[in-house]
Each structure stands twice: as C-alpha cells, then as structure tokens.
Amino acid sequence: MHGRIAQYELARRKGLEAVLARQPWWIFEKLREVMPEYWAAHGQPIVHIERGAYDVVPRRSPARDRRRARPLPRRTVPVRVGIAFLPRSRTALLLAGFLVYYVLLHVATHGYPRYRLPSLPVLFLIGAHGLVSWRAAARPAPGRGRLLAAS
C-alpha cells in the first residue's frame, strides 16, 4: 500500500476483521488476560527486571516479590462498598461510567498498570464514599444507643 492513509485504513480494517472473527468471546478473553496486569500492584521496573533489561539484580526470593506485588482482595473492599452505596444520581453515573469506559478502553487495547493512573481518582472517590457510607450505616440511629443503655 502506498501512502499513510491507505496503510491506516488497511490496518484498521484488518484489526476490525480480527476482532469480529473472535466474537462474542473476545472481550471475555481480553478481560481474563489483561485485567490482572492492568490492576497489578507492580509497575514497569518490575517488568523490566523480570525481562532482564538490567544487569544482574540481586533478589531475595522471586516468590516473595510476586506475593508482595499481587493485589490483595482486601484492598478493594472500600471500592466494593462504595459501589454498593453509590447513590442513584447523575454524578455517580458519570463517575462510574467514566471508570467502566476507561477500563474497557484499556482492556481492549493495551493494559499496563501505568495506564490506570487517570482512573485512580475515581476509585479513591468511590472508596471514600464507601467508607463514609459504611461508617454511617454502622452507627446506631440517634437516640437508639441511649434506649439500649437505659434498658
């Protein structure tokens, strides 16, 4: 193909054909392959060390480093609670929609941990809302604690 526009059109057409040929399971395959990498706690330096980009780097134990780098489920508890307590408002819909769109965009294309940085403020807002809502739900109603103490 001659010309950049013709090359771009050919590449776009071939890419869409490849995606359409793998439907409907393509998105589930991508989610399984890319999501752990996208949300991983480690960053590019760990990837470069594992690929041997640097000279010999002394390590204590590769298994210990992987355990430390693996995201723990308890880290997601505030976000899960925040999603459960999200109000049905336009603001919450905008935040959740941005988060879902941004994650799916990077899962469909290329998901490295550094690409999640713009979505982290949304996660922090949802997590903070979850913690505040959970604490408010755990508190007794005003006056109820006094009644229980008096009886």
Q: Which range marks the domain in which residue 93 is found? A: 4-41+72-150
118 and 86 in a single domain? The answer is yes
102 and 52 in a single domain? The answer is no
Answer whether 81's CB lies under 8 Å from 128's CB.
no
Residue 64 pLDDT: 54
76 and 109 in a single domain? The answer is yes
pTM flag (> 0.85) = no
Tens-level pLDDT at each residue, the chain (151 residues): 688 999 999 999 998 898 788 888 887 888 888 887 777 766 677 777 777 777 766 666 555 555 555 554 556 677 777 788 888 889 888 888 898 888 888 877 777 777 888 888 888 888 888 888 888 887 766 655 444 444 4
43: Cβ contacts below 8 Å, ≥ 6 apart: 113, 114
CA atoms of 127 and 131, how far apart (whole Å): 6
CA atoms of 58 and 68, how far apart (whole Å): 17
63 and 132 in a single domain? The answer is no
On the 0-12 / 13-18 / 19+ scale of CB atoms within 10 A, 126 is buried
